[in-house]
């Protein structure tokens, strides 16, 4: 894992096509290492969440190449490796587990980020219909101690189609439903890093399963 972090550190300093081409063999080595890590994580998650059993690294891993067409940032490459673990892979509509490896900013996440309107509405209805169940999940001490509060952009006003006096209206204002845990670089290099993130993913499972139960209603 140390070589992977070193590559990303250098890429951040020399984020250009020329540098990347000169170091293409290094990238290919790191890419293979990352895919092996992702495959191992898939096998670990599949033990407690069968939704990812058939997932492949190719379906999970995000490309390193940035789409700069509509961005002021013209850097051609991402300076992190990302992978999502969910039913159907990274292009599916479902909530899932996320691994982000970046020097000084490695973290695991869970949930769903900026879903389309039909998916978001379905999640909101699931929370509206089963509020106490959802609140129990996110307020469970071990869960909140590790992941804090549900994060993500929120509406300033209650969403339409829901009563404004709903007890947990603030939860329904979310446009994303995400949680996460950060790791230091030394922790990433530790040989038990995969075991640590697997434990975090396992503790996220009730949260993710609740969100997906709503999404499956679409």
Which pLDDT value is given to residue 96? 98
* Closest to 206 (Cα-Cα) out of 107, 138, 109: 138
Which pLDDT value is given to residue 67? 87
Which pLDDT value is given to residue 218? 77
Which pLDDT value is given to residue 217? 81
Alpha-carbon torsion 88, 94, 99, 102, what sign? positive
| In contact, 160 and 123? CB cutoff 8 Å | no
Mean pLDDT by 10 residues, the chain (218 residues): 96 97 98 97 97 95 90 91 96 97 98 96 97 98 95 93 95 97 97 96 98 91
Please give the radius of gyration of the chain, using alpha carbons only, rounded to the nearest integer. 19
Which pLDDT value is given to residue 68? 79
The pTM (predicted TM-score) of the whole model is 0.94
Number of domains in the chain: 1
Domain around 115: 2-215
Task: Identify the three-state secondary structure at position 190.
Answer: coil
Task: Identify the three-state secondary structure at position 40.
Answer: helix
CATH assignment of the domain containing 92: 3.30.930
Which pLDDT value is given to residue 69? 84
* Closest to 126 (Cα-Cα) out of 52, 209, 50: 209
């Amino acid at each position: 894992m140390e070589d992977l972090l070193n590559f990303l550190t250098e890429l951040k300093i020399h984020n250009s096509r020329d540098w990347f081409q000169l170091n293409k063999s290094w990238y290919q080595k790191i890419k293979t290492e990352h895919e092996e890590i992702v495959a191992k994580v898939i096998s670990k998650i599949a033990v407690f969440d069968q939704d990812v059993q058939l997932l492949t690294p190719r379906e999970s891993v995000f490309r390193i190449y940035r789409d700069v067409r509509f961005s002021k940032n013209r850097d051609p490459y991402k300076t992190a490796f990302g992978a999502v673990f969910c039913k159907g892979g990274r292009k599916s509509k479902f909530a899932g587990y996320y691994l982000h490896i970046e020097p000084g900013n490695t973290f695991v996440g869970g949930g769903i980020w900026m879903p389309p309107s039909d998916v978001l509405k379905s999640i909101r209805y699931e929370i509206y219909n089963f509020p106490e169940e959802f609140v129990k999940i996110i307020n469970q001490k071990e869960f909140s101690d590790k992941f804090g509060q549900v994060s993500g952009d929120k509406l300033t006003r209650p969403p339409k189609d829901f009563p404004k006096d709903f007890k947990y209206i603030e939860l329904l204002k979310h446009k994303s439903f995400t949680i996460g845990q950060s790791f230091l670089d030394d922790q990433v290099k530790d040989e038990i890093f995969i075991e640590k993130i697997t434990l975090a993913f396992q503790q996220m499972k009730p949260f993710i399963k609740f969100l997906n139960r709503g999404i499956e209603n679409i």
